[in-house]
Amino acid sequence: MDRDLIPAAEACRILGISAATLYAYVSRGLLESRPGADHRSRVYRRHDVERLAQRKRLGRGPARGAAQSLDRGLPVLETRISLIRPDGPYYRGRPAVAAAEAGATLEDIARLLWDCGSQDPFAAPPGDWPARIAPLATDAALPPLSRAMAAIPLLALHVPHSFQADQPTRRAVAATLLRQNAALLVARRPAGPVHRLLADAWRPGDADFAGLVRAALVLCADHELNVSAFAARVVASTGAHLHATVCAGLAALSGPRHGGATARAYALVESARDSTDIDRFIARRWQRGEDLPGFGHALYPDGDPRAATLLAMLRAAPVDAGTMRTLEAVIAAAEAASGRRPNVDFTLAAICLAHGLPAAPALSMFAAGRLAGWLAHALEQQAQGQLIRPRASYTGLQPEADADVAHD
C-alpha cells in the first residue's frame, strides 16, 4: 500500500471518530476515499485525514462552520424536495432510480417535486412562441444554453407576475416554462412529453434512444442543494419571477465544474479513443495530476447510482459495438488508475457518443431535466417567504478605528 494511504481504522484513530462518522465525512465530501487492495475496503490519504484532524482541533466557530457549510458540509437550509443517500437521490421520499426504471417521465417527476397534489399543471397545451421571440427561439445556429438564456427573460414579458400569486398559478407557469426551456434547447416549438421532444430532435424515430433520454431526465431532475439549485433559490428568495430563477440556474450549470463537465467527459473519451493505448493514456493522465472528468462524486464514494442505472440501460440498447468497447475500456482504465467510477456527467456523454451525437445534447439533457428541480426549489423558497442573505467572514485589511462603515 502507498505509504500516504491509510486504512479506515487508522483514519478513525487520527480523527477520534467512529467508522459511521468517517463514512458520513466521506458522503459530505469532507474526505475522499479510494478502493483498498481487495476492492471491498476503503483507504484514505493520510495528508487529508491529518488536515481534517487539525481543523477539528482548531475549533469550529460560527465563521468556520459557515464556510464549511458552503462546500458540501453542514446543511444551510431545510427542504422537503430531495434527499441524497448512497443508493441515489430520493424525490420527496421516493427513489429516483426506481422511478427512472419504472418508466416515469420528467413531467411525472415535476408533479412530484412541485407537490402538485390533484393539480395537473401540464393539462393545458404549451402554445407556440410569441412572434417577436420565435426567430431567436428557433435559431439553431446558437449554442443551446445561450439560446435558452437569451430567450427566457423575454418570455417573462408575456407572463403576468405577482409575488402574491397562489401556488397553482405558479405551478402552471412552471409547467409552461419547463416545456419552453426544453424546446429552446433544441430550437423547436414547445411540446410534450419533454423526452420525446428532445429525442425526436436528435434521433427521430429511435424509441430505444427516447427511453434513455427519458430516464436521464428523471435522474437529473434534482440533486438537493447543488450549485445551480442554490443559485436559483437565492434569486427566488428575492421574489423574482420564476423565469429569473431559471436563468440563474442555467448560468450556474454552464460552468465547466458543473453541467459543463459533460463536454469535458466527452472530450476525455475522444482523446482516449484516439490514443494507441487507453489504459496507458488514462493512467498517465492520472499520474500527471490531471483530473478524469466524468469520474468520481464526492457524495457517492462507492459510485454514482444514477450513472450505474443509465449505463445498464445503455449496455442493453442497440448501439455501436465499437463505441461501447471504447467506453467500457475508459471506465475500466479510470477505475484501475484512480479508484473512481463513472458519474452522471460521464453517462450523459456516453449516451451521446454511443448514438453518434456531438457533446452538446449531453448538457441539454442535464439542463432540461434539472429545470424541474430548480423550479421546485424556487416554489419552495418563495412559499417560505425568507430572503437568503448569508454573511461573509472578512479576511482583508482591518479599517482604521474612525473609518466610515458601509451598509447594504
DSSP string, 70-125: TTTSS--S--SSEEEETTEEEETTEEHHHHHHTT--HHHHHHHHTT-TT--TTSS-
Residues in the chain, overall count: 408
Catalytic one of 108, 222, 304, 345: 345
Assess whether the previous peptide bond of 62 is cis (omega < 30° from 0): no
Active site residue 47: no
d(C-alpha 51, C-alpha 257), whole Å: 24
Q: What is the dihedral of CA 376, 377, 380, 384, to 10 degrees?
A: -170
Q: What is the dihedral of CA 67, 339, 299, 305, to 10 degrees?
A: 160
**Three-state DSSP class for residue 295:** strand
Catalytic one of 297, 304, 355, 377: 297
Nine-digit cell at 165? Answer: 400569486
At 359, the amino acid letter reads: A
Active site residue 297: yes
**What does the angle CA 321 – CA 326 – CA 331 come to, to the nearest 5 degrees?**
125
Active site residue 4: no
| Backbone dihedral angles phi then psi of residue 94, each to the nearest 5 degrees | -110, 135
- Strands, sheet with 82-85, edge to edge from the N-terminal-most edge strand: 82-85, 88-91, 94-95
Nine-digit cell at 155? Answer: 418570455
At 321, the amino acid letter reads: A
Catalytic one of 243, 258, 355, 377: 258
Annotated catalytic sites, by residue? 258, 297, 345
